[in-house]
């Protein structure tokens, strides 16, 4: 994923942020009695279940088995689920059978919010510090499973009490099949990523969305979330809503009031081609070489490197945002 490096660097204010383990925010405005409580333990169950299948690389048994699991969980929580199937062409010409998973609450509703994440695994650990691992697939606990796990827990909460606006969850496939770092090809690198989102943005199942939220790598240890460049360009008003919801839900210390660079991710085709304002919630690690954290595209992207506090911060922020939407 992501494939443009961060191009803007910041003054490091992280030392001023206290409570590093769990980081309860000093910025609580109000939680609101009607906002459900996000259960990070429940989200961890969904994350571990995805990873238990192994790397969810297209054309694999693990990919198909995990897809069925995700579909069944959304159905269990009362969502209408269908696949958007396609044959994707990888940068090297390999044909890959894949599909986006679309889960709709109240499909007939004409006022909706979109929440999305990718569910496929990177076929190559091409950012691993050990060159011998570069062609090994990634378990993708953070870079894939974390966003889907948050969405399934949101669906569970919504099944208990519906918000005032209908919710669609989309699990994008073929996000992480972009050209590997060790490939010296002159192929245009940007369009080899986010293939499922490119497909969906040109073949929408609905046009009734107020806005969208993309979740990517939302479970890492030590994660902080900055205002990503394309999100600011296309959906600045939604960025403000998300950051306000983070503060109001007591998670403001995770969401930094500073900008990051521009990141190629699934929200780009959604904004560019579908014209749906969508923001990307993804971390920035100022001291990591990649900017995306120490486990990004490595064999260390495993469940034991997930922090439930990070899942909780993102999930509770989204619940606050969703349940404070007015009809």
Give the Cα separation of 259 and 230 in Å (integer): 11
Q: Which long-range contacts (CB under 8 A, 24 or more apart) does 255-258 make?
A: 255/224, 255/225, 255/317, 256/13, 256/224, 256/225, 256/226, 256/227, 256/284, 257/227, 258/10, 258/11, 258/13, 258/226, 258/227
Going by C-alpha positions, the residue among 77, 144, 98 that lies closest to residue 297 is 144
Give the Cα separation of 321 and 149 in Å (integer): 18
Give the pLDDT of the chain (327 residues) as one tens digit per residue: 554 434 333 333 333 333 333 444 333 334 444 899 999 999 999 999 999 999 999 999 999 999 999 999 999 999 999 999 999 999 999 999 999 999 999 999 999 999 999 999 999 999 999 999 999 999 999 999 999 999 999 999 999 999 999 999 999 999 999 999 988 776 667 789 999 999 999 999 999 999 999 999 999 999 999 999 999 999 999 999 999 999 999 999 999 999 999 999 999 999 999 999 999 999 999 877 779 999 999 999 999 999 999 999 999 999 999 999 998
Give the Cα separation of 150 and 42 in Å (integer): 9
How many other C-beta atoms are found inside a 10 Å radius of the C-beta of residue 30? 12
Domains plus CATH for the chain?
A: 14-323 (3.40.630.10)
């Amino acid at each position: 994923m992501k494939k443009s490096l961060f191009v803007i660097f910041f003054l490091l204010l992280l030392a001023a942020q206290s409570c590093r383990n769990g980081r309860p925010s000093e910025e609580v405005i109000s939680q609101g009695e009607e906002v459900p409580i996000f259960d990070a333990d429940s989200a961890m169950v969904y994350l571990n279940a995805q990873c238990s299948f192994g790397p969810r690389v297209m054309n694999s048994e693990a990919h198909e088995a995990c897809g069925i699991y995700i579909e069944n969980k959304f159905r269990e929580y009362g969502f209408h689920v269908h696949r958007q199937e396609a044959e994707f062409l990888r940068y090297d010409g390999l044909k890959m059978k894949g599909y986006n998973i679309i889960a709709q609450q109240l499909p007939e509703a004409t006022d909706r919010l979109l929440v999305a994440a990718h569910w496929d695994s990177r076929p190559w650990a091409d950012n691993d510090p050990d060159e011998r691992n570069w062609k090994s697939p990634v378990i993708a606990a953070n870079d894939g499973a974390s966003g889907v796990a948050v969405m399934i827990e949101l669906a569970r909460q919504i099944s208990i009490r519906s918000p005032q606006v209908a919710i669609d969850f989309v699990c994008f496939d073929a996000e992480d099949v972009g050209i590997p770092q060790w490939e010296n090809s002159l192929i245009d690198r940007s369009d080899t990523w986010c293939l499922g989102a490119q497909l969906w943005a040109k073949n929408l199942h609905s046009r009734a969305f107020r806005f969208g939220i993309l979740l990517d790598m939302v479970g890492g240890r030590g994660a902080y979330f900055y205002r990503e460049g394309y999100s600011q360009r296309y959906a600045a008003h939604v960025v403000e809503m998300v950051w306000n919801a983070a503060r109001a839900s007591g998670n403001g210390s995770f969401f930094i009031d500073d900008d990051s660079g521009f990141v190629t991710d699934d929200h780009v085709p959604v904004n560019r081609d579908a014209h749906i304002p969508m923001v990307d919630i993804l971390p920035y690690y100022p001291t990591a070489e990649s900017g995306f954290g120490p486990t990004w595209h490595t064999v260390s992207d495993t469940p034991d490197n997930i922090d439930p506090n990070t899942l909780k911060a993102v999930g509770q922020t989204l619940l606050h945002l969703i349940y404070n939407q007015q009809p």
